[in-house]
Structure 1
Amino acid sequence: MHWTTSTLVALAFASPISALIRFQCSQLVVERLDPLVTPGQVPSPHVHQIVGGNSFNATMAPSKDMPGESTCTTCQFSEDFSNYWTAILYFRARNGTYKRVPQRSNAGFDGTTGGGMTVYYMTDPLYDSQPKSKVSAFKPGFRMFVGDINARTKEQAARFRQLTYTCMENAGSREHEVVHFPQKPCSYGIMTSVRFPTCWDGVNLDSPDHMAHMSYPESGTFESAGPCPSTHPVRVSQVLFEVIWDTSKFNDPADWPEDGSQPFVWSFGDPTGYANHADYVFGWKDDSLQKILDTSCYATSCGGKQQSIAEMNKCAGLKKTVDEDIGEDTWLTQLPGGHAAE
């Protein structure tokens, strides 16, 4: 389920919902680093876009003091030094070359460097008029991953139906989500939405696959308001990313494959969209997140220390560790890392 900004505001004032934090983060850096899945590997296998605290680097051990080591953050809440990242989207032209797809800022966040992403932390489904959830903030050292980078079919991606795409006709489009790339040109762009699990085992800050310590509710999705399984009894907030890819620049049918199939591909070579995935490393300062989650608030009315878009943008542009052409201004014969659409 998706909600427009106007719907979110209306619901916030219509019922005493619990905390729903919604904020924007400017793009910190775009490069081949992945300290969660391939820590210390320079470069990592594929390109990511990263937002958040500027202490992001190739290793980021669990003991890392992210608030202490970061000097700024690209996120609107200035005490949020977490890092959030996703793969990068590319357009594959009819001649087989690739070009990076730029991003758009979400509605109300114009001017955000690189388009960035919108981040949500939610304690209850929006339509729950009797919120009763007490959720725990994540702990220092916590991290998680969601998705399957190897999925290429609906069946393989079935356990991650909370990762979706919306073909946007305008800035307010939020309907008709699908779990694969849209199969037609989208006049405004494609929004990817990533919803992380909301039940924690209460013990482990991470796990070998970065997923086993987390679970979705027994009834499948956060929106179902179902109970957590006994193996993962601690309720945490729903973390949601929204990224808008400005695919409008690539809507000329003459550039699409001759058979009419969709031309977009993830930076690791997935042309189906089923392998959508994302990473999260917690880094809020002290108990700043817990204080917000314990209130009844909406979006940027949730208190905390906040900064302007101009201040967020000052933190953007982290010096890259990997020096390579990622197809921002040029056409590539192959994706960075040697990947090809498959």
Structure 2
Amino acid sequence: MKFQLFTGVALQALTASAFWRLECRGRLALARMDPMMSPDEDAAHAHAIHGSSDANPIFNSGFSESASYDDLMNGDCTSCAITQDKSAYWTPAMYFKHADGTYEIVPQVGGMLAYYLPRGPGGVADVKAFPKDFRMIAGSNYRRNFTIGDQTADEPDPPQSEWAALNQTNQYDLAQRSIGFNCLDYNKAPEGALYRHYMPDKAYMDANCLNGTRLEIAFPACWNGKDVDSDDHQSHVAYPDLVQDGECPEGFDVRLPTLFFETIWDTYNFYGKDGIFTIANGDPTGFGYHGDFINGWDPDFLQEAVTTCTNLSGLMSDCPLFDLQTEAEQQQCTINPPSSLAVENVLGDGVDGVMTELPGNVQIQYGPEQATPGTNAAASTKTSTSSYVAPTLSYQSGTSTWGGIFAEETTSSYSDIGFVSVFAAGAPSSATPSPVTTTAPASTPDAGVSYEPVTTEYKTNSAGGVLEVIWEEAVVYVTEDLVTTTTVTATPSGAPYMERRSNWLRHRHHGHGR
């Protein structure tokens, strides 16, 4: 008697994880301001800035070129929905360079989202609030390449379960996997979050990203427990070994909430136009995307929120602690840039005139070597536009990657400041029944069958609930009268995914050798 071994992937369980999704539908400013990297002076490149401000500029409260924790806390408004949060959130803006050499801002869609994901090894009880004066940066402004082992940028990440064996859990590699460029087409199942770690080229976006491009970045969630900042604004924190989850490295034992930023840019607005997209820091590759955060929560209040706001919907309205403001109120909160920047054209939309250079006269640098700081032509890279070829990682639905965090149903309408609202309408509030945990249909276990977790993914359904889908590998031993032993790998015939206009989960068991 011989054994024929089949392996497959089975959907064994569906559970949910608590989190909240902070909506920042207002934008304080689009300006060259960065109190971390350029304190008390104009920053090198333009940022989309969200968070705390003050209606009266003479008080110098809220976000500024020298903003401190106390400044943010003393702000009298925020461009985000939760009034108790006076934090500052900012990322570089996206621009389009026309064939004639002029630049134009890419419209920002819906403001931004900041996900607060309490993912301690023992649950929310292990997650500590950001302390007073805490700040950090994710990403590298000067990176222009992708170097993780033998993997190229046009290859998907290997399964998380293999990262340790591949020696790919060091901070250098994890940081490269913390950024994502999600190609949006609401007619298809969504791509997984952090699936693509580079900016697709213009032709790919025209053909595939009909609803724009979502730029994503995950922040480190492991803290050394003593320093609220460091010289590079990064050395005091570290990524867990799965970027957004997993174990913290030695010396960074305090688990913080995982911050995950999403900003959508309407790249399809430039469909059919000749040119290239670039981040405001002169990066057309996307490898140098980054994000900044200065804490503006009262630590005690945030700690209470981490342990209390455990509704599985992720909706801010389902946490009784939060005082929420309307989209219109969020959009009323703005800042006045310093006089040196007040007249700077950062839009290039024709209303304020055309832009013949990026704000700050930043030069485009393709790499693959590190970009160099500076604002003159000498800072430009040796690599020309014609010689750079963007990687191509074809569309793949989120269920086939480890990411797929938030693929949500979307509605759109133009707002007063030119953003498009992309937040789910009619989502359930605390007045409606809480989302329930859905499990796969029970099946009778077979003799000789064992299961091992392979990967985990997260989906937001149209009702606003978040589902954690745990994929496990099923190893099935079938007794047959054979002369030889054959090993066959069964490939799933299809992957389950969340229908955009459905409030139920379609799931199947795949690849069972029977």
The normalised TM-score by structure 2 is: 0.56
| Distance (whole Å) between structure 2 residues aligned to residue 122 and residue 172 of structure 1 | 26
Paired residues for 1:1-342 under 5 Å = 15=15, 17-18=17-18, 20-25=19-24, 26-41=26-41, 43-54=42-53, 55-61=62-68, 64-67=70-73, 69-105=74-110, 116-124=111-119, 131=123, 133-155=125-147, 158=173, 159-170=175-186, 174-175=190-191, 177-183=195-201, 184=204, 185=206, 186-217=209-240, 219-222=241-244, 225-252=245-272, 255-257=273-275, 263-285=276-298, 287-295=300-308, 296-297=310-311, 298-300=314-316, 301-303=318-320, 304-315=322-333, 317-321=334-338, 322-323=341-342, 324-330=344-350, 331-342=354-365
CA contact (8 A) 2:214 2:264 kept: yes
The residue type equivalent to 2:242 in the other structure is G
User: 1:103-153: per-residue Cα shift (whole Å, max 9, x none)?
Assistant: 111xxxxxxxxxx1011101139xx9x846520110110000011111111
| Distance (whole Å) between structure 1 residues aligned to residue 80 and residue 34 of structure 2 | 19
Matched position secondary structure for 1:290: helix
Matched position secondary structure for 2:292: strand
CA contact (8 A) 2:128 2:303 kept: yes
Return the index of the structure with the highest Cα Rg.
Answer: 2
- Taking a change above 3 Å as real, the CA distance of residues 102 and 230 of structure 1, as seen in their structure-2 partners, is same
User: 1:232-283: per-residue Cα shift (whole Å, max 9, x none)?
Assistant: 000001001100001111111xx325xxxxx110111111111000100000
- Taking a change above 3 Å as real, the CA distance of residues 180 and 334 of structure 1, as seen in their structure-2 partners, is same
- Taking a change above 3 Å as real, the CA distance of residues 101 and 17 of structure 1, as seen in their structure-2 partners, is same
Instruction: Give 5+ residue unaligned stretches, structure 1.
Output: 1-13, 106-115, 258-262
- Taking a change above 3 Å as real, the CA distance of residues 174 and 276 of structure 1, as seen in their structure-2 partners, is farther
| Distance (whole Å) between structure 2 residues aligned to residue 195 and residue 135 of structure 1 | 16
The residue type equivalent to 2:325 in the other structure is Q
CA contact (8 A) 1:134 1:294 kept: no
| Distance (whole Å) between structure 1 residues aligned to residue 68 and residue 335 of structure 2 | 19
User: 1:160-213: per-residue Cα shift (whole Å, max 9, x none)?
Assistant: 211110111128864053111113122110000110011000000000000000
| Distance (whole Å) between structure 2 residues aligned to residue 71 and residue 235 of structure 1 | 30
Matched position secondary structure for 1:49: strand
| Distance (whole Å) between structure 2 residues aligned to residue 256 and residue 152 of structure 1 | 23
| Distance (whole Å) between structure 1 residues aligned to residue 286 and residue 189 of structure 2 | 19
CA contact (8 A) 1:24 1:118 kept: yes
The residue type equivalent to 1:181 in the other structure is M
The residue type equivalent to 2:281 in the other structure is F
| Distance (whole Å) between structure 2 residues aligned to residue 247 and residue 100 of structure 1 | 10
- Taking a change above 3 Å as real, the CA distance of residues 264 and 211 of structure 1, as seen in their structure-2 partners, is same
| Distance (whole Å) between structure 1 residues aligned to residue 49 and residue 187 of structure 2 | 23
CA contact (8 A) 2:40 2:66 kept: yes
User: What root-mean-square deviation, in Å, do the aligned CA atoms of Structure 1 and Structure 2 show?
Assistant: 2.1
Matched position secondary structure for 2:126: coil
The normalised TM-score by structure 1 is: 0.83
| Distance (whole Å) between structure 1 residues aligned to residue 187 and residue 227 of structure 2 | 39
- Taking a change above 3 Å as real, the CA distance of residues 256 and 239 of structure 1, as seen in their structure-2 partners, is same
The residue type equivalent to 2:229 in the other structure is D
| Distance (whole Å) between structure 2 residues aligned to residue 173 and residue 58 of structure 1 | 41
CA contact (8 A) 1:171 1:188 kept: no
CA contact (8 A) 2:103 2:348 kept: no
Name the stretch that deviates more: 163-172 or 332-341. 163-172
Offset, 1:288: 2.1
The residue type equivalent to 1:194 in the other structure is I
Residues paired across the two proteins, number: 301
Offset, 1:306: 1.4
